[in-house]
Chains A and B, each alone.
Chain A
Amino acid sequence: MRVTAADVCYVAGRVKLICDVSLDLDSGERLAIVGPNGAGKSTLLSLLSGDLRPSRGSIAYDALEVATLPVHRLATARALLGQRQAEDIAFTVGQVVGMGRYAYRNDPSVGPDDDRRAVAKALEALDLGALESRPLSSLSGGERQRTAIARTLAQQTPLVLLDEPTTALDIRHQEMVLGVIRSLGRDGRTVVAVLHDLNMSTAFDHVILLDHGGVAAHGAPAEVLNSDLLTKVYEHPIEVVQHPLGPGILVLPSSDS
């Protein structure tokens, strides 16, 4: 699915949270949204998901204007992982992941077997098989986060939107999630993720760096992740160095003193 945003602005009250953002993503492309706290990353993701309507400009999935799509149609076009996960939930991991199938319940071409397969596949991708029948309230923050990611995978949508997907995850599961994002891209599914860890954005095709609601830079990771630009946007000295173990780059904060 092709995702396009044309000159999108979002104004809340008198504050411009997002202004003049344009994007064009093809099927299978992966975009990372980065930027300091309050730069408008989550707002942009909400706009792309159709949960917020742009004050100006337009967002489209293929040729379909997102603002005109009803909620149940959106749910089969894109999945959205929110930033915070509810904690006190008596549902089991398997049931929560199964909630990702809600939008298909009235679709005659989707049977219970399809639902079961989608849930099983999502549980396996996030290494949740052993936790399937545990209630969510008994899990750690990282396990809940993985359950939420599995739920968005079970939705099996051509577009996957993730707000800080690696929050609360240990290093092994962070790598697991990056692997899942890569394989989504290989399957031709478009991925947009808000990231706070700049190093993770090197695993994406494109990076958009937001600053105060506007686009500070947009391009391949190697172009956007440069030390002068990051230092200016984050208002903190940042170094970008060659990765000691591979061909990539490494973003490091340098100390003020």
Chain B
Amino acid sequence: MLLCITVFTALMIGAFSISIGDILTWAAGSGTSDAAAERVLSSIRLPRLLAAAAFGAALGSAGVVLQGTYRTHLADAHLLGYSSAAGVGAALGFAITPVAAYPVVPVALAALGGAIFGLVTAALRSRAGSERLLLAGVAFGLAMLAWTGLFVLIVDSPRVPTFMFFVFGSLSGVTWKALIVAVIVLIPGIVVLWRYGPGLDLLVLGDREARALGFDTSRLIPIVVATVGIVVGASVVLGGVVGFVGLLVPFLLRPFIGPRHRVLIPAAAIGGAIAVVVADTLARTVAAPSEIPLGLITAAVGGPLLGWLLVRRAST
């Protein structure tokens, strides 16, 4: 229901506003009275809406899974450095792929970057505690952001998005081609993560207990975090590097739906989709006709909200 309202609102408003009647007739396939409205809907607003939903679903589910793996509610793909690692791969991929082509190479390299980063942190996970890993993730993330920045500036190619894309993200350049390639990677990835849900539940008891109960931590955790890296990688090609979604959405959901990953993963995917569709609608309408980067909205709204929730929950 919430998703429906969000979807219609997102399709209606923008630099060019479209009535709900026009959207419904267009959706019914009978063609709208207004050719311009139809063009805006099908080639700009709809792919962007779907990309926002896919992007949010990836960040939400990745956040939940990383929180389970690292046993802290303060983990997410952005904070731990997965997004920036995928960003490096995406930047390299964009540099060697023509703009009009299907972005198979950027998605593949971004997924590879995310997966390699996941495997490295999985290897460190058993040695370092959660707090240290979080700090290390922040440090790695900033370093990779810097490398991406250097790369973008040195290459200076129209094929590579601006540095802003890799810092604050944006869904403004989304195409149907990018959406299709990313979704082909994203959805199976989220399904794989969902399948590991019951095993992720066991990790809350500790690695030793999880192993004693039959979850092979040394074999399965690398698979899980590499899958997270792949999902995040595919999402970064769509919307760049955006924070707070993976932290905030699970944080809001947990009190209502409990700790089970089989429920949390799909819920965080839907919640993340709604959150990013809303944030992106704000991003393109608040200062229309100019755009605000998506990550500025999520940080400006999500940051204080998360801080307030953390303080409030700590005191109860």
Chain A: residues with CB nearer than 8 A to chain B? Answer: 49, 51, 70-72, 74-76, 79-80, 82, 84-86, 89-91, 95-96, 99-100, 102-103, 105, 151, 155
Number of A-B contacts (CB under 8 A): 63
B37 to chain A: which residues have CB within 8 Å?
Answer: none
Tell me the smallest distance from the CB of A195 to a CB of chain B, in Å. 19
Q: Please determine whether A86 and B214 come into contact, CB atoms closer than 8 angstroms.
A: no
Which residues of A are found within 8 Å of B209, using beta-carbon distances?
A: 80, 82, 86
**A84 to B258 alpha-carbon distance, docked (Å):** 24
Contact B215 A90 (CB under 8 A): no
In the complex, are the beta carbons of B204 and A79 less than 8 A apart? no
Known: A90-B258, A102-B199. A80 touches B205 (CB 8 A): no
Q: Which residues of chain A have C-beta atoms less than 8 A from B254's C-beta? A: 90
Given A91-B201, A102-B198, A105-B198, is A82 in contact with B216 using a C-beta cutoff of 8 Å? no
Q: How far is the CA of A70 from the CA of B212 in the complex (A)?
A: 11
Chain B residues closer than 8 Å to A71, beta-carbon distance: 211, 214-216, 219
Interface residues on B, range: 20 to 34
Residue B208, interface by CB 8 Å = yes
Closest beta carbon of chain B to A227's beta carbon, Å? 36
Could you say which residues of chain A place their CB within 8 Å of the CB of B260? 91, 95
Interface residue SS majority, chain B: helix
Give CA–CA (A100, B212) in the complex, Å. Answer: 9
Rounded to whole angstroms, the CA-CA distance of A174 and B69 in the bound complex is: 34
Q: Give A70's nearest chain B residue, CB to CB.
A: B216
Once the chains are docked, how many angstroms separate the CA of A90 from the CA of B258?
A: 7
How far apart are the CA atoms of A102 and B200 in the complex, in Å? 11
Identify which of A51, A79, A89, A99 contacts B211 (C-beta below 8 A).
Answer: A51
Mark B residues whose CB is within 8 Å of A: 198-199, 201-202, 204-206, 208-209, 211-216, 219, 254, 258-260
Residues of B within 8 A of A84 (CB): 206
Judging by beta carbons under 8 Å apart, are A76 and B214 in contact? yes
Report whether B208 and A82 are in contact in the complex, using a CB–CB cutoff of 8 Å. yes
B206 near A86 with CB under 8 A, answer yes
Cα A100 to Cα B219 in complex, Å, equals 20
Q: Is the CB of A49 within 8 A of B212?
A: yes
**Which of B206, B211, B212 lies at the interface centre, i.e. has the most chain A CB atoms within 10 A of its CB?**
B212
Q: Which residues of B contact A91 (CB under 8 A)?
A: 201, 204, 258-260
Q: Select B202's contact among A74, A76, A82, A99, beta carbons within 8 Å.
A: A99
Q: Which residues of chain B are within 8 angstroms of A72 by Cβ–Cβ distance?
A: 214, 216
Minimum Cβ distance to chain B for residue A124 (Å): 21
Query: Is there contact, CB below 8 Å, between A102 and B202?
Result: yes
Given contacts A74-B212, A75-B214, A99-B201, 19 further A-B contacts (CB under 8 A): A49-B212, A70-B216, A71-B219, A72-B216, A74-B214, A75-B212, A75-B213, A76-B214, A82-B209, A82-B212, A89-B259, A90-B259, A91-B204, A95-B201, A95-B259, A102-B198, A102-B213, A102-B214, A151-B213
- Bound together, the chains give a CA A99 to CA B212 distance in angstroms of 11
Q: Complex: how many Å from CA A155 to CA B212?
A: 10
Contact of A80 among B212, B215, B258 (CB under 8 A): B212
**CB-defined contacts of B208 to chain A, threshold 8 Å:** 51, 80, 82
B201 touches A155 (CB 8 A): no
